[in-house]
Amino acid sequence: MNNNKDKHRLFLILITILTFVTIFVVGFTTWMVYNFGDVSFEQYFFSITAPTAGTPTSFYIQIAMAIGVILLVTLIVVFIYYLILKKVKLKSSVKKLSILLITGALLFSSLFYMNANLKIATYFFAETTTFFEDNYVKPSSDIITFPKQKKNLIYIYLESFEATYFSKELGGAVDINLMPNLTALINEPGAVSFSGGELMGGGIQAPETGYSIAGMFAQQSGLPFKVPVKGNDYGTKYEFATGAITLGDILKQEGYNLQFLVGADGTFAGVNNFYQTHGDFEILDVKVAKDEGKIPQEYLVWWGFEDRKLFEFSREKLEAITQQDQPFAMVIEADDSHFPDGYTDEACPKDRTEPYENSISCVDSMVGEFINYLKQQPYYEDTVIVLHGDHLSMEQEYFKTLDPNYERRTFNAYLNLDQTKVAGVKNKDRLFNSMDVFPTVLSAMNVDIKGNRLGLGTDLFSGQQTLYEKFGTDFVNAELAKKSPYFFETFLYSKTKYE
């Protein structure tokens, strides 16, 4: 008798555990998709293995609340299910087997649902490709020639900025233009913005370029950021993709003073490691700002300090480095427009019903102010300015209010270029991605690139076909998503110098 009771109890425990796992898997997957959208498992994988220092407390609170709700709902459902099973007479082994099979089927379905949405099998069992070795152009001094009078560079990454934020009549997806200042800058002499259509537009987001460190890496190396299946050490080690040759490596070799500024903790996702490995940039992040007394030790706004202070510190840094007798390149990462909802500075109006729109408009205003300041400086004449979205926004709720058929593309603008560079440029109806930005930035600085290609990117000023235009976006994206032993060995594990 006791033996039967023990078996029945074990059966109930097994069914309870299987049901618990099933509901938790469904709840967790639904939450991930709801918050992050349609992204690759590679992105999830890197995000959980890279350091998360500096993440706003509100993010952790949201995650904790989500897990708490999922667990609570799971426990309630499982408890009710347990009570029902306990009251049902299950003397028949056929009934028990039926319940076990149904529960197992539900668990299998939940795992299938997780795999389909998070693309786990696609990541671990992807086919291999030779696309990288077949199309990669290694940057070297043999094919890259700087002008006698070197141009300075100010490169501003605008978190999650898209062409979507233009008004509909300009080519965007909103009723009222959220970027009037950037629009005005694009229409000035010496300015170019590349588009996929006849109106304002931008670049297509290629696989493995859809989050901040991956987007920056792609734009500065001409490569996507692929993470090996066995994990990575990029968040904990000093060195970051040591086999890749990037914009920073080239500019350092050419004697540039290199600066990187961000309002967050630069250790997040290995960002500091990237800029230290490739160019040994001088870094100013929230930790350095506190150490130098620029902000109080207890200061915390958004990811660290807000963009208004970021541009203020950038002006201070420029005043110092422009006194030195060498060209400079300053990379600024503005984060106020990060999801969810962004951060709207206290000095900016909040007259739109959507909080995210207030954030976008505020950043647009601050960038406009910063560029106007630069125009008054003596070094402006010899300085190229690049404004670029790092990737498409991961904001979910806001984009549900827009046309679902609109093709979202990353924002880009190249300012203060020589007229000879702008004249006759083919900037409309182009198919390109973040990897094409790498040679395009150098070309904007009047650097000559033999063959017009670096990495997997093509100089958009050259008019030469990009890989998207040559092979088609579907084919290229499919190849980029595949495994590449060559990529891992050549760019992640080996060490290569620019020479």
- Within 10 angstroms of residue 199's Cβ, the number of other Cβ atoms is 14
With cut-offs at 50, 70 and 90, classify the pLDDT of residue 384: very high
Note the pLDDT of residue 341. Answer: 87
The answer to whether residues 358 and 344 touch, using CB atoms and an 8 Å cutoff, is yes
For residue 348, give the amino acid letter. C
For residue 355, give the amino acid letter. P
Mean pLDDT value across residues 348-362:
94
pTM: 0.83
Q: Which domains does the chain have, with CATH numbers?
A: 2-124 (no CATH), 132-493 (3.40.720.10)
Q: What would the pLDDT profile of 28-54 be if each residue is shown by its tens digit?
A: 777 777 666 666 676 666 655 555 555
Residue 490 is given by DSSP the state: I
How far is Cα 315 from Cα 63, in angstroms, rounded to an integer? 36
HSE-CB at 87 with a 13 A cutoff on CA atoms is 5
Q: Which helix (H) or strand (E) holds 333?
A: strand 328-334
Q: Does 94 have pLDDT greater than 90? A: no
Q: Residue 261 pairs with which residues in a beta bridge?
A: 284, 332
How far is Cα 284 from Cα 314, in angstroms, rounded to an integer? 9
Mean pLDDT value across residues 292-319:
95
Note the pLDDT of residue 56. Answer: 55
The answer to whether residues 160 and 395 touch, using CB atoms and an 8 Å cutoff, is yes
Q: What angle do CA 476, 246, 308 make, to 5 degrees?
A: 100
Percent of the chain scoring above 70 in pLDDT: 85
How far is Cα 459 from Cα 439, in angstroms, rounded to an integer? 5
With cut-offs at 50, 70 and 90, classify the pLDDT of residue 99: confident
Residue 495 buriedness (CB in 10 A; 0-12 / 13-18 / 19+): exposed
How far is Cα 334 from Cα 327, in angstroms, rounded to an integer? 23
Percent of the chain scoring above 90 in pLDDT: 64
